[in-house]
Amino acid sequence: MKKWEKVSGKNVILGVCSSIAVYKACQLASTLTKNGADVHVVMTESARKLISERIFQTLTRNPVCTDMWESIPDWKPEHISLAQRADIMVVAPATANAIGHFANGIADDFLSTVYLACAAPVLIAPAMNCNMYRHPAVARNIGVLSCDGVEFVGPDDGSLACGDSGKGRMAEVEEIMQAICNILE
C-alpha cells in the first residue's frame, strides 16, 4: 500500500493564510498533488503578500481562489461549488485571525466563506507566535472549533521566525499528511 494512498482521487481544499510557514503549504500542496489528490488552494489576501498564487497554481495544476468578487465562468458561486466538491478542507498555515473568523462565523473573505459552506471534515494546522497561540482568545476559539468537530494538527514546539521559542510552529508536512489520511479513513 502506498504511504499516502488515501488522498488519491480526493478533492482537497487547501486554505493558506499569512504566515512565514507558507513554504510548508507549498510542500503540502505538492505532496497531495503528487499522491493523486485534486487540490484547490484558497489564499487569504494577506497570504498573497508573502507568496504568489502562481506557485500554488503550478504545484496543483488548478486555479487559485483569492477574491470573492472575481468574475466566474458560470452561474455557480465559486465558494459554494468548491465547498460542495470537497472531501476534506485543510487550512495550513492557519493564523489566529482565520481561527477567530471560523470560530465566530465571520465570513468576510473567500476562505472564511468556503469554511462556512463546507460540510466536509476540516483540519487546521495553526502557525503563529507562541504568545499568540497561548492567548486565552485563541485557546477559546480553538475550543469552539474543536467542539464543532474541527480537527487540529500541531502546532509544534521550537524556534519561531520572530526569534521566540515555544509552541507555535506549524506541524511538519508528514504529520499533516498523516492527519489527513486518518480523517479520510
Let me know: does 88 contact 120? Beta carbons within 8 Å: yes
Q: What is the pLDDT of residue 127?
A: 95
Q: Which domain holds residue 92?
A: 5-184
Q: What is the pLDDT of residue 1?
A: 44
Tell me which residues of the chain have a pLDDT lower than 70.
Answer: 1-2, 68-79
Q: Does 65 qualify as catalytic in the annotation?
A: no
Q: What is the pLDDT of residues 123-163, one digit of tens each?
A: 999 999 988 999 999 999 999 999 999 999 999 888 777 77
Catalytic residue (choose from 130, 147, 162, 181): 162
Rg of the chain's alpha carbons, rounded to an integer? Answer: 15
Pairing of strands 156-159, 165-169: antiparallel
Q: What is the pLDDT of residue 68?
A: 63
The string of DSSP letters for 34-88 reads HTT-EEEEEE-TTGGGTS-HHHHHHHHSS--B--TTS--SSSS-HHHHHHHH-SE
| Domain CATH for 142 | 3.40.50.1950
Q: What is the pLDDT of residue 75?
A: 44
> What total of structural domains would you count in the chain?
1
Mean pLDDT rounded to a whole number for the chain? 90
